Structure 1
Amino acid sequence: MARTDAIVLGAGIVGVSAALHLAKRGLAVALVDRRAPGEETSYGNAGIIEGNTYFPYPFPRKISALLKIAFKQAPEANYHLFYLPRLAPWLFAYLRHSSGDAMFEFAERMRPLFAASIAEHESLMREANAERYLRTNGWLKIYRTSRAFDAAKPDLDAIAAAGLAFEPLDLGGSLALEPGLSPVFERGIFWPQAASVSNPLAVTRAYAALFKSLGGIVLTGDARSLHRSDGRWRVDTSEGPVDASNAVIALGPWAPEVLDPLDIRLPLEVKRGYHRHFHAEGNKGLNRPVLDAEVGYAVVPMEQGLRLTTGAEFAHRDAPPTPVQFDRLMPQARALFPLGEPIDAEPWMGRRPCFPDSMPVIGRAPGQAGLWLDYGHAHWGLTLGPVSGRLLAEMMTGDVPFTDPAPYRAERFLA
């Protein structure tokens, strides 16, 4: 095989973006995955590019909310009981990082990535001839009660102070944006500094096609075969072994399978999530993603139909699917929007790779020369894939990084 400068392991939106940015800087890159680009978690997300994100996803604090989750009545969360003992240390760490001063630390450290996320996608979409998938009309968050809207005011005040734009709406203003919704809620917030895509899988495939047009190669292989060989990194593929001086781990929830044998053990856990596509009844439709804040799901117009996405499920990554959250949320979802029959035979399940501080790891792997990390993007893999790929490529090629990469170092977990 011809000279290879870098192997990127993982062909989701994060890995494809990293490989593409490296190829744009003149490196010979091999992108390796067991499946075709975009067919795992990158396929099933809500399609939102969240340039407006400021705080991490909160941990429920109200006793009533915690009790609903505990008794498996909450649409926004589910759990497997036997997994909780293993998960407990991570959950407590997540709780610490999603409250108080830690929320503002997250905001300060992550804002450069979120602020650049839409522009990075727009740039790649122009080059990849994929602009037809992009919507730049924001998204709508609805609140069924004014009480819930008022409870969000402290966070909204902080977001406004940071200069992020949003528009509080009454029922009439919300329905003016989305006339297909039913008036079963009281307030809304329109977030204009967000974009969305109508087909996340197609976007990832378009970026992969652009990568190949720049000379990159896409190979089928097992990332777990990564090892040292004569001072270089080697991975086995269907076309034989591939060697390179640099390797990038962009495997999302599967990264520990490669990193643990290399004595790189970082506190990654998985938030599982589900989606299912539905027809719309009559001539109703949606113009943009809509999040039902109190119930904890999103309904998003996609090329495949209206995609209904659930909140988090805490379970072993490879445990059998348990999409019970659909049973809990469907009555309220149908009351909000006239969803028709499901298009998919069964709900689809994905796995969000999450660190307890809700930030990805981007940069050098500790103690392993030539090994780089780009994973753990939590709920924002689609949002941050291109911008984290750019940052990683700048670091790997010696360019001046567009933002300080220090907050994303793996060593923050090893001190």
Structure 2
Amino acid sequence: MTAQKSTQTFDVMVLGAGIVGVSTAAHLRRLGLDVALIDRKHPGQEASAGNAGVIQHNGFLPFGLPKDPMGFLRSSFNLGGPFSYRPLTLIRMLPWIRKYIQSSYGEAAEAYCKAIMPLRTLAVQSHLELAEASNAGRFYRKGGWIHLFRGQTSFDAGDLERYYARIYGVDYREMDGEAVKALEPGLIVSGIRAVHWTESRSVSNPAAVVDAFWRGYIRDGGQYFRADAKKTIRKRGGWSLEGERGPIFARHAVVCLGAWSMDVLKKFGERYPLAVKRGYHMHYRPLSGASISRPIVDIDNGFALTPTDFGIRLTTGVELAGRDAPPNPQIVKLVKRRAEEIIPLGRALQDEPWLGSRPCVPDSLPIIGPSPTIKGLWLNFAHGHDGFTLGPVSGRVIAELLTGKTPCADVSGVSPVRFQE
């Protein structure tokens, strides 16, 4: 007869071990709580591994979709551009897309800026603090990142972003092709305009950063369990889950599951308009003499190029498709063709593109704070394109809120209560 395993009890269980979940668990542990971090995979293996590795100090506006109907439809068939859509997904998501576009311009864009800046202002500092505590500093680099504009029209469209930079005191430098070439000799930039965001940071290996944060959390006495978060049960006085090493119970649960958050929350009657923006990446070994020293973004075509420990990472723009839909390798092929107009990428270093999902709600803001309806349930997800940037600071905020401390940033603009009818 097999002996029944005894229940392990914690103050908090953190569901999801991407950079948001790991950072949340690390901050909770640093405040003295007993923490169980839960995931079905090794930490940092989903969207936290596949991004461009940038910690943005800019980013004042939502990642907007075209508001002109004809421009929107044209982009639907432009697989190599900033946006691509599958026809059936487009039809199904039209109400969500309409709300997203309405939230991306005018007064709504200004509201976004006011809500996100308290977090973004602390993003770099919060990263570096966790990096120092976990010996991850070797992955970080200064130098900012460069936004390239292939024409005057797209450069002029970025005026509002630069206006907010001046308002919030964020440094940037406008450059012509010659100035870009002086900074990044490996680029082909004839006729290109650019903006160098000097105060942002980047990393050479996003997955390794999350792994280092996780190892630091374990060294501090945190616990990690392989388990399926979808099996979480609400019990009197807390939350229960069956893990590989037996049952787990905690008084509080923090949902940090990114694109999978609603798989858990809908069981408890929580409703948030979460969708996913999918993205792909591939690594390349550049041809002789071609290199970059910091991330480069082609604004017109939506892709990013990042120097990593594995070669140059080409990260695509947004694909609106079902989270679990089959991948579309044509997107990477077409984006690579556009990318090679500015740098000869050379040989691919992966057999297949990596594919991940960025969780997003229509106002493009994360959802951070206590559930408005369920005691002991905390939410930290829907970071969209900012998961890697904002993971450490949003984790700190949740830890401070949960322990009754004054949070380091005003998060009233990203509270879950904004979705209450």
- TM normalised by structure 2 equals 0.96
**How far apart, CA to CA, are the structure 1 residues paired with 2:412 and 2:157?**
34
User: Match of 1:72, SS?
Assistant: coil
List gaps (5 residues or longer) in structure 2.
1-6
Residue of structure 1 equivalent to 2:140: 134
* CA drift at 1:270: 0.3
Query: 2:3: which partner in 1?
Result: none
1:397 is matched with which residue? Answer: 403
Equivalence for 2:217: 211
How far off is 1:77 after superposition? Answer: 1.5
How far the C-alpha of 1:73 sits from its partner, in A, is 5.0
Moved more, 152-161 or 306-315: 152-161
The one-letter amino acid of 1:164's match is V
Q: Does 1:198 align with 2:201?
A: no
In the alignment, residue 356 of structure 2 is paired with which amino acid?
A: G
Separation of aligned partners in 2, 1:332 and 1:102: 32
Name the residue aligned to 1:259: 265
Does structure 2 conserve the Cα–Cα contact (< 8 Å) formed by 1:4 and 1:29? yes
1:130-181 per-residue CA deviation (whole Å, 9 max, x = no partner) reads 1010012100111112332123224323332332211000111111111110
2:254 is the alignment partner of 1:248:
yes
Could you say which residue in structure 2 is the equivalent of 1:351?
A: 357
Residue deviations 1:167-220 (CA, integer Å, cap 9, x gap): 000111111111110134421110012110100000000000010011101110
2: CA distance between counterparts of 1:258 and 1:67?
34
Letter of the structure 2 residue corresponding to residue 385 of structure 1: G
Q: Does 1:384 align with 2:376?
A: no
- Identity across matched positions, percent: 40
SS of residue in 1 equivalent to 2:338: helix
Long gaps (5+) in structure 1: none
SS at match of 2:347: strand
Q: Check the 8 A contact 1:182/1:336 in 2, yes or no.
A: yes
Change (3 A) 1:64 1:189: farther
Counterpart of 1:159 (choices 158, 161, 165) is: 165
Within the candidate set 41, 46, 69, 1:40 is matched to 46
Is residue 80–residue 338 contact of structure 2 (8 Å, CA) maintained in 1? no
Alpha-carbon distance in 1 for matches of 2:157, 2:15: 43
Question: Alignment partner of 1:336: what SS?
Answer: coil
Code of the aligned partner of 1:382: F
Q: Which residue of structure 1 aligns with residue 57 of structure 2?
A: 51
Match 1:292 to one of 261, 275, 298: 298
Q: CA RMSD in A?
A: 1.4
1:149 matched residue in structure 2: 155
How far apart are 1:64 and its partner, in Å?
6.0
**2:192 aligned to which of 161, 166, 186:** 186
Preserved contact between residue 68 and residue 74 of structure 1 (Cα < 8 Å): no
3-state secondary structure, aligned to 2:138: helix
Counting matched residue pairs gives: 415
Task: Look up the SS of the partner of 2:247 in the other structure.
Answer: strand
Q: Any idea what SS the aligned residue of 1:57 has?
A: coil
CA distance in 1, matches of 2:333, 2:209: 30
Query: What residue in structure 1 maps to residue 416 of structure 2?
Result: 410
Q: In the alignment, what sits opposite 1:29?
A: 35
Please report how far the alpha carbon of residue 332 of structure 1 lies from its aligned counterpart in structure 2 after TM superposition: 2.2
Question: Which region of structure 1 is more displaced relative to structure 2, 80-89 or 352-361?
Answer: 80-89
Deviating 4+ runs (over 4 angstroms): none
Contact 2:140/2:201 (8 A) holds in 1:
yes
Identify which range, 275-284 or 59-68, moves more after superposition.
59-68
1:411, distance to aligned residue in structure 2 (A): 1.7
8 Å contact from structure 2 (residues 67, 101) kept in 1: no
User: 1: CA distance between counterparts of 2:348 and 2:26?
Assistant: 36
Is 1:78–1:313's contact at 8 Å kept on the other side of the alignment? yes
Distance 2:79 2:233 in 1: 46
Displacement of 1:2: 4.7
Asked if the contact 1:8/1:29 (under 8 Å) is kept, the reply is yes
CA contact (8 A) 1:75 1:326 kept: no
* Deviation, structure 1 residue 328: 2.3
Distance (Å, rounded) in 2 between the aligned partners of 1:158 and 1:222: 42
Which of 92, 99, 103 is residue 93 of structure 1 equivalent to? Answer: 99
The alignment's TM-score, normalised by the length of structure 1, stands at 0.97
CA distance in 1, matches of 2:153, 2:413: 36
- Structure 2: how far apart are the matches of 1:278 and 1:152? 29
Distance 1:173 1:259, change over 3 A: same
User: Which residue pairs with 2:4 in the alignment?
Assistant: none
Partner of residue 328, structure 2: 322
Q: Could you tell me how far apart the structure 2 residues matched to 1:178 and 1:62 are?
A: 35
Is residue 268 of structure 1 aligned with residue 274 of structure 2?
yes
Task: Give SS of 2:341's match.
Answer: helix
Deviations 1:84-112 (A, max 9, x none): 23211111111111000111111111101
> Could you tell me whether the CA contact under 8 Å between 2:57 and 2:170 is conserved in 1?
no
Give the AA of the match of 1:411.
V
Q: Distance in 2 between matches of 1:160 and 1:112?
A: 16
Structure 1 residue 71, shift from structure 2 partner:
3.0
Q: CA deviation at 1:66?
A: 2.4
Q: Distance in 2 between matches of 1:189 and 1:65?
A: 25
In the alignment, the residues of structure 2 paired with residue 8 and residue 161 of structure 1 have an alpha-carbon distance, to the nearest angstrom, of 37
* Counterpart secondary structure, 2:32: coil
